[in-house]
Structure 1
Amino acid sequence: MILLASPGLAEAPLFDPFSGYRTAQYRAPIPAPPEGIPALSTPWVQALAAQGATLLDVHPLRTFEITANGTWLHPERHESLPGALWLPVVGWGTTEAWADAYLHAALKDHASPDAPVIVFCQLDCWLSWNAVQRVRALGYDARWYPGGVDDWQAEGLPLVPLDPLPLQD
Structure 2
Amino acid sequence: MGQILLLPLLVVALLLGNAQAGEELPLFNAEGYRQEHYRSPTPEQAPGAVTVDTAALRQLLERQPDAVLIDVFRSTWRFGQFIEDQPHSNLPDSIWLANTGDGALAPDWERYFTRNLERLSQNRKDAPIVFYCRSDCWLGWNATRRAQAMGYTQLYWYRDGIDGWQQAGLPLHDATPEPFAAP
TM-score category of the 2 structures, normalised to the smaller one:
0.7 to 0.9
**The structure with more radius of gyration:** 2
Distance 1:21 1:152 in 2: 25
| Unmatched tracts of structure 2, length 5 or more | 1-14
Correspondent of 2:69 among 55, 58, 66: 55
Percentage of identical aligned residues: 35
User: Which residue identity is paired with 1:165?
Assistant: E
Give the superposition deviation at 1:48: 2.4
* Structure 1 segment 151-162 matched on structure 2, within 5 A: 151-162=164-175
Alignment partners' CA distance in 2, 1:75 and 1:30: 26
Show the 5 A alignment for 1:25-36: 25-36=37-48
Instruction: Give the aligned partner of residue 10 of structure 2.
Output: none
> Shift of the alpha carbon at 1:19?
0.4
When the two structures are aligned, how many residues end up with a matched partner? 158
Q: Give the corresponding residue for 1:23.
A: 35
SS of 1:56 mapped into structure 2: strand
Q: Deviation at 1:107?
A: 1.1
Distance apart, 1:39 and its partner CA: 0.6
Query: Which amino acid letter does the alignment assign opposite residue 24 of structure 2?
Result: E
Q: Deviations over 1:125-157 (max 9, x none)?
A: 011111111111222222101100000011110
2:149 is the counterpart of 1:132: no
Name 2:161's counterpart in structure 1: 148
Shift of residue 45, structure 1, vs aligned partner: 1.5
* Residues 64, 74 of structure 1: 8 Å contact kept: no
- The RMSD of aligned alpha carbons is 1.8
Secondary structure class of the residue paired with 1:143: strand
Match of 1:108 among 118, 135, 151: 118
- Tell me the residue number matched to 1:3: none
SS at 1:27 equivalent: coil
Moved over 4 A (4+): none
TM-score after normalising by structure 1:
0.85
* Alpha-carbon offset, residue 65 of structure 1: 4.4
TM-score (norm 2): 0.79
For 2:100 and 2:69, locate their aligned partners in 1 and report how far apart those are by CA, in whole Å: 14
Give the Cα separation in 2 of the matches to 1:45 and 1:90: 21
Aligned amino acid, residue 56 of structure 1: I
Secondary structure at the counterpart of residue 177 of structure 2: coil
Q: Distance in 1 between matches of 2:53 and 2:32?
A: 25
The structure whose residues are more often helix, as a share, is 2
